[in-house]
Amino acid sequence: MAGIYIHIPYCKKKCVYCDFYFKINTDDMHEMINCIIKELVRRKKYVKTSRINTIYFGGGTPSILTEKEIKKILSTIYDNYKVCEKPEITLEANPDDLNMKKIANFFNVGVNRLSIGVQSFNDDDLIFLNRNHSREDAISSIKTAQKIGFKNISADLMYGLPNQSLNDWEDNLNLLFDLNIQHLSAYMLTLEKKTKLFEYVKKNKVKMTDDTTVINQYYSLLNIAKKNNFVQYEISNFAKDNVFSKHNTSYWQNKLFLGIGPSAHSFNYESRRWNIASNKKYIEKLNTNNIYFEEEILTINQQYNEYVLTNLRTMWGININVIKSRFGSKFASHTIKMMQKWNEKKYIHESNENVVLTDKGSVFADKIISDLFFVENL
Ligand SMILES: C[S@@+](CC[C@H](N)C(=O)[O-])C[C@H]1O[C@@H](n2cnc3c(N)ncnc32)[C@H](O)[C@@H]1O
Ligand code: SF4
């Protein structure tokens, strides 16, 4: 089984917190779609004999595509890859793009999962974040998608926003759960360099939320999600009735994935590839048959670190027997030794060779994961 990720590198405007790769100028969009199609045809050997069970349009803003463009990309995938019978086909969508006609068109060309970038239901937050939509747009996009027949809807929310109190965050969560969707991605705001937010904070125009409030927001996320029968299956991801994101789950479980488009990453167990993060150069190089990506062959240490990094963030955790058989006894002994202190603090829980983070431990996930990394010559 394998997944295909397609990066659509355009946005209508730049949100203050975001450092993903995109351009606002869409003059080369037609050429970009042609090059994405060329890359799909060129890269089919990358997945070898694997069947494609997930297709994910991410961005940037894939919801600016027309249904014809999506159809063209999907037909190229069907013509060149072995696709399983009912693939999960996700499209990341911004609420301001989602009117009734557009949602129906996405549905009709085969998109069966919508991931809607709500971020907050508070209009003041949305203005501050420089989002292109309002609270009402977000609510109506979800309700319309449900009316059209989408049975797998996810929403992105962010916490730790400047001036967002614990109450504000809980209001966002309660409103979202009342809308009765299947999946939530809740991200703690991270301050990225080269963003407007970074500039505001540096110039003391904006203050980031204090750690205690952010941790309380995280704990209330865990409580409210639980009350609404949502399972936390990855630190930032929650689902009802096991409607997990199959695509993202395969990243976290180290499955093969092919990334298409500028800045997209690919992984095939032994190596990682990342496409050039420039629309202009990507188009130029694809049209002249030149190399448009960099590649890194992963050492066994890096493969082990990748396994710990992705799997320990999920509810399935890491497994000592898997580590022994995939990477060798040296790595299994290292894991057992390094996890001892976290076990004593009850930050991790071990049973039958399987290790997962506890709720308390998930607050310190990054610290625990980097501690379990295997660094040569230490
Ligand atoms: C890169 S966006 C693409 C989806 C779509 N363009 C949108 O804005 O909804 C994917 C998600 O990443 C999250 N994100 C982006 N930058 C972030 C940051 N600095 N901190 C936390 N979450 C972030 C947002 O929740 C966003 O919905
Ligand atoms: S959060 Fe989404 S819409 Fe905003 S700049 Fe990033 S990719 Fe574009």
**CB of 230 sitting under 6 A from ligand 1:** no
**CB of 94 sitting under 6 A from ligand 2:** yes
The amino acid sitting at 155 is A
Ligand 1: nearest atom to the Cα of 131 = 8
The amino acid sitting at 360 is K
Q: Which positions ≥6 away from 119 have C-beta within 8 Å?
A: 15, 125, 126, 129, 131, 156, 157, 158
pLDDT, one tens digit per residue, over 338-360 is 999 999 999 999 999 999 999 99
pLDDT at 203: 98
**CB of 295 sitting under 6 A from ligand 1:** no
pLDDT at 377: 58
Cα 126 to ligand 2 centroid, rounded to whole Å: 12
The amino acid sitting at 244 is F
Q: Do domains 2-251 and 304-378 have the same CATH topology?
A: no
Confidence of residue 376 (pLDDT cuts 50, 70, 90): confident
What number is the average pLDDT over the span 231-235?
98
What number is the average pLDDT over the span 316-334?
97
**Nearest ligand to residue 56 Cα:** 1
pLDDT at 312: 97
Residue nearest to atom 4 of ligand 2 (CA): 15
**CB of 119 sitting under 6 A from ligand 1:** yes
Confidence of residue 160 (pLDDT cuts 50, 70, 90): very high
pLDDT at 266 over 90: yes
Among 114, 129, 135, 190, which residue's Cα sits nearest to residue 163? 129
**CB of 59 sitting under 6 A from ligand 2:** yes
Ligand 1: nearest atom to the Cα of 185 = 25
Q: Are 95 and 144 in contact (CB under 8 A)?
A: no
Q: Are 73 and 39 in contact (CB under 8 A)?
A: no
Mapped onto helix, strand or coil, the DSSP state of residue 316 is coil
Position with higher pLDDT, 13 vs 254? 13
> How many C-beta atoms surround the C-beta of residue 258 within 10 A?
25
**Nearest ligand to residue 115 Cα:** 1
**CB of 20 sitting under 6 A from ligand 2:** yes
Ligand 1: nearest atom to the Cα of 19 = 16
pLDDT at 217: 98
**CB of 172 sitting under 6 A from ligand 2:** no
User: Model-level pTM?
Assistant: 0.97
Tokens 């990682």 -> residue: 272
Q: Sketch the domain layout of the chain as residue ranges.
A: 2-251, 304-378
Residue nearest to atom 25 of ligand 1 (CA): 156
Cα 225 to ligand 2 centroid, rounded to whole Å: 25
Burial class of residue 364 (count of CB atoms within 10 Å of its CB; 0-12, 13-18, 19+):
middle
**CB of 118 sitting under 6 A from ligand 2:** no
**Nearest ligand to residue 130 Cα:** 2
pLDDT, one tens digit per residue, over 104-156 is 999 999 999 999 999 999 999 999 999 999 999 999 999 999 999 999 999 99
pLDDT at 213: 97
**CB of 58 sitting under 6 A from ligand 2:** no
Let me know if domain 2-251 sits in CATH 3.40.1440.10: no
Q: What are phi and psi of 155, to 5 degrees?
A: -130, 145
**CB of 60 sitting under 6 A from ligand 2:** yes
Let me know if domain 304-378 sits in CATH 3.40.50.970: no
